[in-house]
Amino acid sequence: MRIISGTARGRKLKEPDGLKIRPTTDRVKEALFNVIQFDIPGRRVLDLFAGSGQLGIECLSRGAASCDFVDAAPIAAELVRENLKRTGLTGGKVYQRDAISFLRGSARYDLVLLDPPYEFDQLDDIFQTIVQIDILNKNGIIVCETSSDRILPQLEPPYAPVREYRYGKVKLSLFTRQAD
């Protein structure tokens, strides 16, 4: 696992031990950042279900103003801290908290990265909370990685689906918060 582009390009990240944390594959990560690359510089990012932190760290490397990394697992929070140290990137804050409780007390973001465990059964609740709190700034983007057979909820305006991308057993779903 390494950073693809930006100021930390080529830096290797510490990989998780075991199977409790599932990092995004290089193929999917490259595809994701090809889609959102121009929406990152200067933006405020939320990496929810951060795992190793590789997605948020990639955003910081590509010029994001800041990134909040959230994961309930202590091992994941420590892994993100270690990977931030390895890259020397600043602007990242790590929160070891439950996703829904973090969302209820969070600020607004320009980009939200959702990469929950594929068997996570509260994803609909996460989306509902995002819409209720209205967590995205105007024209903000949500990117959600799931298994390709996962059906995501319909979001209420001003949130709208943009596109889905499939890579084998993985699906990336993009949503946006339209301008008022």
Residue 147 β-bridge partners: 170
Amino acid at 167: Y
Q: Residue 154: which residues within 8 A CB-CB, separation 6 or more? A: 161
Domains of the chain: 26-177 (3.40.50.150)
> Which helix (H) or strand (E) segment is 57 a member of?
helix 54-61
The count of C-alpha atoms lying within 13 angstroms of the C-alpha of 11, restricted to the half-sphere facing its C-beta, is 20
Q: What is the pLDDT along the chain (180 residues), one digit of tens a residue?
A: 889 999 999 999 998 776 566 677 788 889 999 999 999 999 999 999 999 999 999 999 999 999 999 999 999 999 999 999 999 999 999 999 999 999 998 789 999 999 998 888 899 999 999 999 999 999 999 999 999 999 998 999 999 999 999 999 999 999 999 886
Tell whether the torsion through CA atoms of 176, 7, 12 and 87 is positive or negative: negative
Q: Express the helix, strand and coil content of the chain in percent, nearest 5 each.
A: 30, 30, 40
The count of C-alpha atoms lying within 13 angstroms of the C-alpha of 116, restricted to the half-sphere facing its C-beta, is 18
Residue 114 β-bridge partners: 48, 144
